[in-house]
Amino acid sequence: MQINKEKLSRFYKTTMIVVITAVVTFCITSILLYKGGGIKYIAVTKGDTTGLGATLTSFKELLNNKYLYDIDESKMIEAAIKGYIGAVEDEYTEYFTPEEMQTFTTYTTGNYVGIGIYMEADTENNLIRVSSTIKNSSAEKAGLQAKDIIAKVNGVSYDASELSKMSTNIKGEEGTTVDLEIIRNGQKINYTLVRSSVELYPVEGVVLEGNIGYIELATFDEGCAKQFKEAYEELKNKNVKALIIDLRDNGGGIVDEALQITDYILDKDSTMLITADKNKTEEIEKSENNPIIDVPIVILVNGETASASEILAGAIQDYKKAAIVGEKTFGKGVIQELYTLNDGSGLKITIKEYFTPNRNKINKVGITPDHELIDEKETEVDEQLQKAIELLK
């Protein structure tokens, strides 16, 4: 059986934008959480250190007294903080403006409100198209289709360079409406769509040949472990004899969600994760329940499998509970803590490094699959998936 990759992959393109909040530029991450889930917010007040504060105050006075033009002080403060944090030179430690913080937390928790479409800029024809619709969204229910041209939003036209601006004008509060003028096959179609809650990464199970279950995890956002369990139980009711968990292109997310899914597979009291802080103080996370998955497992990974995905894959590999198939993973083995500041801005700080149960290092190393297989993009056959099916047969 040859399985078309496009049917089993999501539309992840750098030109796409989810029309529900703003442009999401944050992908590879692990966020430290309370046990019950949800981002760990720590309210703090920004304050100056003596040296830094005195220097900035001097510069501020000089600019206010001498600079010829008007100054946007809030923009300058944001730029100063970004530069200060950026000098740490850790790609995962970063400052978020209030707007960026809202986008980041929305992305991480999966609490989206919108019409439910992906858009892409067609620079060749200088227009914006629908790339795909999200399942059960207002757009899908109304009948919007991939390749539809979005001619106008609330009567306003946009060209390919205005993708972000169009997104901003499409998004809005839940329950409100937006008017779209769509061109499809040369015909104009008008839609009035209600903005509603959108489940961006639903977890669904599929039965493949040979009674093999298949579950793709696109990200570890809030609630995905529960969805995974429901999807697996549905597959069990269909008498699957084995399971493929697809973690390819999964850049991570919420640590607790990954650990909960790991708990579904490992024996009770098994070590799932070891973390160490800057003082070398270790914490060990252990499984709390008996496993619910009792069939052979293969996990698919690639070079974009990162962070929380590597926590899951690494633990399962150490205990030989699954065969890992694909390409060496990304190698992001550190965890961040997210602080919310009193003005709505935020600071994400790398606070811990993590290791697999066998104390294998992940950061800058990655996980080497049991069966390494490069995905030949030019072919229509998903060779990694075919290898997983072959192993499970």
- Tell me the residue length of the chain: 393
Residue with tokens 């811990």: 352
Amino acid symbol at 86: G
The burial class, CB within 10 Å (0-12 / 13-18 / 19+), for 93 is: middle
- How far apart CA 307 and CA 319 sit, in angstroms, is 19
The two structure tokens encoding residue 242: 């084995």
Active site residues: 307, 318, 332
Residue with tokens 């998004």: 171
DSSP state of 361: B
Question: ∠ CA 135-330-257 to the nearest 5 degrees?
Answer: 50
Residues 84, 52 contacting (CB under 8 angstroms): yes
Residues 92, 351 contacting (CB under 8 angstroms): no
- How far apart CA 271 and CA 32 sit, in angstroms, is 18
How far is Cα of residue 270 from the mean position of the Cα atoms in its chain? 27
Q: DSSP of 321-345, one letter per residue?
A: SSEEEES------EEEEEEEETTS-
Residue with tokens 């909040």: 21
Q: What is the 3-state secondary structure (H, E, C) of 347-385?
A: EEEEEEEEECCCCCECCCCCCCCCEECCCCCCCCECHHH
Which residues make beta-bridge pairs with 272? none
- Cβ-proximal residues to 112 (8 Å cutoff; 6+ apart), any chain: 18, 20, 21, 106, 197, 198, 199, 200
